[in-house]
Amino acid sequence: MRRIIAIIAALALIFTLGGCKNVPKNYVNPPFFTVRDEATGGVVYMLGSMHVGLPNTVYPDEIYSALDECETVACEIDLIELENKRDEVNEAMKVFECGSAAEFMGDDYAEIKRYFTERGIKTDNLNRYVPAMWSITLSQKSAIDAGYETKYGTDREILTIAKEKGKKIFELETAEEQYKINAGQSREFQIFSLKSSVSVPYEQLIAQNKTLYLAWSTNNSFLIETMLSGGRVPDEYAEEYARYFAAMYANRQKKMAEYAVKALKNGEKVFMVVGAAHYFAAPDILDFIEEAGYSTEALDYENAA
């Protein structure tokens, strides 16, 4: 079940908000890859992001230099513009087939509502949404309580710099598409996933956020892969979970890789920033790019200038 919770947390981190001031610089070494087309001169730099972060985060010089070199920044979605479309995004997660989440969840509703209320999460507005939205909201709250904020996330940092420098922003997908992956799960699987989340001690959810951030900020690929692969789904949900995992990762990663390959063949210089998990959840972006005949190179932090 750890895998499902980690996936929900990764998606939820896109939408967490907060504020903090006067803290020391936070140096990070995130996953960073380069692929080139020697024939066309095309190059794609690929940064693995965390959608939340800490204030005063400083990235390696190689990342800033790569960003300066590129004309285009490709991202999952433009998080800076997302706030203008919040209602459209939330619409994808509403309960339609019955009147409320209470009806949707049935006998499980009271226990789940009590868990949320005890942790200071108001459920009045949530009662319009499917269980997947409840899971995302819980992950948002645990990320905040772990000390992280989306306004310091990698995506926002890179997009802010890109917009200041007048670079072209290319969205690889939409937030609606991401949310529909979750809303499209069966009622039973959504409730199972939510019940699994609330069965975990809240302190453990906070610890998972901190572990995920540590893995990302130290480029610990083993730890990232462990968090993605850990846990077991009961047999009754195995087939649906496999479809969900493919939709959340493999299918999206193939699309991201296709964009990168097209840019390379066209001789473009692109800086791609997408969630770090997309470089580790097999088959990942790098796998698809290498299948197209290219070689990818990871930044060697030990020998970096």
Each residue's pLDDT tens digit, 46-80: 999 999 999 999 999 999 999 999 999 999 999 88
What the block records as the tokens of 11 is 């998606």
What pLDDT is recorded for position 58?
96
CB 256 within 8 A of CB 285: yes
Sheet holding 168-171, edge to edge: 168-171, 72-75, 269-275, 42-49, 32-37, 296-298
On whether the CB atoms of residues 50 and 11 are closer than 8 A, the answer is no
The predicted-structure confidence for 10-44, as pLDDT tens digits, reads as follows 545 444 433 444 557 899 999 999 999 999 999 99
Query: pLDDT band at residue 89, thresholds of 50, 70 and 90?
Result: low
For residue 93, the model assigns a pLDDT of 74
- What percentage of the chain reaches a pLDDT higher than 70? 87
Q: Which two tokens stand for residue 260?
A: 């990168």
Task: In whole angstroms, give the CA distance from residue 36 to residue 261.
Answer: 10
Distance of CA 190 to the CA centre of its chain: 19
User: Where does 39-166 have alpha helices with state H?
Assistant: 61-69, 79-82, 86-91, 101-105, 109-118, 131-145, 154-164
Give the highest mean pLDDT range of 99-108, 117-126, 162-171, 194-203: 162-171
Whether 151 contacts 18, CB under 8 Å: yes
pLDDT for position 98: 63
Q: Best-predicted range by mean pLDDT among 88-92, 124-128, 247-251?
A: 247-251
Question: How sure is the predictor about 82, in pLDDT bands with cuts at 50, 70 and 90?
Answer: confident
> 98-149: per-residue pLDDT in tens?
678 999 999 999 999 999 999 999 999 899 899 999 999 999 899 999 999 9
Contact 235, 152 (CB under 8 A): no
* Cα 261 to Cα 257, 268, 285, distances in angstroms: 6, 10, 11
In this prediction, residues 1-17 reach a mean pLDDT of 48
Q: Which helix (H) or strand (E) holds 42?
A: strand 42-49
DSSP 3-state of 76:
coil
- Identify the pLDDT of residue 14: 40
